[in-house]
Amino acid sequence: MVDPAAPILIFDSGVGGLTVLEQVRKLLPDAPVIYVADRAALPYGDKSEAEIAARVCGLLGRLAERYHPRLICIACNTASTIALGMVREVLEVPIVGTVPAIKPAAEMTRTGTIGLLGTRATIRQAYVDNLEAQYAQGKRLLRHAAPELVQAAELKMRGIAPDPAVFARAAEGLLGQPGGADIDTVVLACTHFPLLEEELGKEFGPSVRFVDGAQGIARRIAYLTKGQSFARAQDDFAIDTSHDQDPSPLLPAFQSYGIGRILRL
Ligand code: DGL
């Protein structure tokens, strides 16, 4: 039997996984959660596949030994599209990953042209090619790497307004491609990006809808933990892997997601 106090561990390189936590809270309000931000290695999107895979496998192994989670959610598209298979091979714990929401986007589009915003590492993954081949046949998928948006989301969660030019560049990066004017659906294929939906919405205009994977991930977590009981032994907390950045400016944002403390790893 699963210990009712065993947490769900939600993992990202930074604040992006909070968009997944928000949806998990809606379905499983009593689930104890440990949120992990690997800010020591942020951004993942500019690293090599080998670096990301080694980092994610090593860190999740340490965290699993220390906190005995009932389930780990890799709330990061970059880490999931690169390392999900590997992590599943090395850890016994059920692992839920985050994959670009190409399938729902393909079902939603009317024009048949979908945009995808992700990190540099995510948009070059074969995992994304496979999702495109499987779910977006006969549609056009235009990809754009927007690493600046990761930093913008990190700033926003510290209460600092990001430079609006960043959002204009992200929109132009998709809409300015050949055929880009036909985009009516944009996949936010990085968990940081839904934190910026309002700002992005202004640049893309009212005819574009955004889609991300957070709700689907929460449903998957609820499905995999069905029948288990939940009882918090302590308040939910976050772990920050960074030792040279002060996490306290993030605390107000984390508190709004029910995380009252940010500890150092
Ligand atoms: N939040 C992560 C994702 O979903 C990536 C951010 C980063 O580059 O670290 O891809």
Q: Is 152 contained in some domain? A: yes
In whole angstroms, what is the distance from residue 262 CA to residue 255 CA? 10
| 207 and 260 inside one domain | no
Q: Is 80 contained in some domain? A: yes
Host domain of residue 53: 8-98+215-264
Task: State residue 265's pLDDT score.
Answer: 87
| 125 and 224 inside one domain | no
| 21 and 33 inside one domain | yes
| 255 and 240 inside one domain | yes
| 231 and 163 inside one domain | no
Q: What's the gap in Å between 74 CA and the centre of ligand 1? A: 10
In whole angstroms, what is the distance from residue 141 CA to residue 264 CA? 40
| 67 and 94 inside one domain | yes
Q: Domain end: 190, 212, 234, which one?
A: 212
Q: What's the gap in Å between 180 CA and the centre of ligand 1? A: 24
| 51 and 130 inside one domain | no
Give the pTM.
0.97
Q: Domain end: 187, 212, 237, which one?
A: 212
Average pLDDT by consecutive 10-residue portion of the chain (265 residues)? Answer: 97 98 98 98 97 97 97 98 96 96 98 98 96 97 98 97 97 98 98 98 97 98 98 97 94 97 94
Q: Is 3 contained in some domain? A: no
- 93: exposed, middle or buried (Cβ count in 10 Å: 0-12, 13-18, 19+): middle
Catalytic residue numbers, as ranges: 76, 190
| 107 and 159 inside one domain | yes
| 43 and 91 inside one domain | yes
| 205 and 106 inside one domain | yes
| 259 and 226 inside one domain | yes
Q: Which of 80, 77, 74, 44 is nearest to 190 (CA)?
A: 77
**Which ligand 1 atom is nearest residue 13's CA?**
9
Q: Is 14 contained in some domain? A: yes
Question: Does ligand 1 lie within 6 Å of residue 190's CB atom?
Answer: yes
β strands within the chain, DSSP E: 8-12, 33-37, 71-74, 95-96, 113-118, 140-145, 185-188, 209-211, 237-240, 261-264
CATH code where residue 56 lies = 3.40.50.1860
Bond from prior residue into 247 cis (ω within 30 degrees of 0)? no
Q: Is 2 contained in some domain? A: no
Question: Does ligand 1 lie within 6 Å of residue 81's CB atom?
Answer: no
**Of the residues 46, 51, 77, 116, which should be mutated to test ligand 1's pocket, given the most ligand atoms within 8 Å of the CB?**
77
**The total number of structural domains that make up the chain:** 2
| 16 and 93 inside one domain | yes
Q: Is 224 contained in some domain? A: yes
Question: Does ligand 1 lie within 6 Å of residue 122's CB atom?
Answer: yes
Q: Domain end: 212, 236, 252, which one?
A: 212
Task: State residue 264's pLDDT score.
Answer: 92
Q: What's the gap in Å between 87 CA and the centre of ligand 1? A: 17
Q: Is 195 contained in some domain? A: yes
**Of the residues 192, 196, 217, which should be mutated to test ligand 1's pocket, given the most ligand atoms within 8 Å of the CB?**
192
